[in-house]
Amino acid sequence: WPIATAMSILAIVALIGLPEPSSRTGKKNPAPRSLEERTSLPLVQDHSLNYTPGRTEDIRQILLHAAQGDEYSARSLLKDPASKRSVHYFVTDAGTIYELVDPKNTAWGAGPENPCSISVMAEGVGGLTSAQGTSLHLLVDELRSKHGKLPVRAYDRVANPIPDDITSSLGR
């Protein structure tokens, strides 16, 4: 299953400049709204059967994965029961956000990090499109509004342990 290197993912995150939740900026948090209410970008339900119901640990991080190849190949793999792989969200080059596994369940994309992570995979490895950057901003902000200020980390099957919160290196 092709995964880009941690350096490619760090470059992707540097391009997005992840947002701070409004509680850190001193502004009052508005009532949480769904992603569909916050953006005109579609959130598409495209459920994978590759997950474990529920969680054995509290959510402590968001893991960013980079997919090599096109949207169809990556999403097909993530939904194929034989692959035993999945992520919670998949963001296409066009900015469409697919929810493959509900965050209340455990996706199978990060090995021992699965129980405490929300996994997000971005299509492509050559950097983010503008639409992807916008969608990832909104998605991370939405996840943080529901689960607190989660660190965002790059996931690479080769790199262990997972690096410290990569948003801190961006001055955020």
**Angle at 131 (CA atoms; ends 117, 30), nearest 5 degrees:** 60
Could you list the beta-strand ranges (E) of the chain.
43-45, 51-52, 61-67, 89-91, 97-99, 106-107, 117-123, 152-154
Rounded CA separation 21/57 (Å): 23
pLDDT value of position 65: 86
Summarize the confidence of residues 151-167 as an average pLDDT. Answer: 57
Rounded CA separation 1/4 (Å): 10
Summarize the confidence of residues 77-104 as an average pLDDT. Answer: 92
Residue with tokens 């947002």: 19
Weakest-pLDDT range from 7-21, 50-64, 83-97, 112-126 = 7-21
Any bridge partners for residue 52, and if so which? 106
The pLDDT-based confidence of 132 (bands split at 50, 70, 90) is confident
pLDDT value of position 127: 73
Backbone phi, psi, residue 4, to 5°: -70, 165
Rounded CA separation 69/121 (Å): 12
Measure Cα distances from 67 to 5, 79, 156 in Å: 10, 14, 11
The pLDDT-based confidence of 91 (bands split at 50, 70, 90) is very high
Summarize the confidence of residues 131-155 as an average pLDDT. Answer: 88
- Most confident of the ranges 10-14, 71-75, 114-118: 114-118
Inter-residue contact 100 to 79 (CB < 8 Å): yes
Inter-residue contact 139 to 91 (CB < 8 Å): yes
**Which secondary structure element, helix H or strand E, spans residue 46, and what is its range?**
none
pLDDT value of position 112: 85
pLDDT of 52 > 60? The answer is: yes
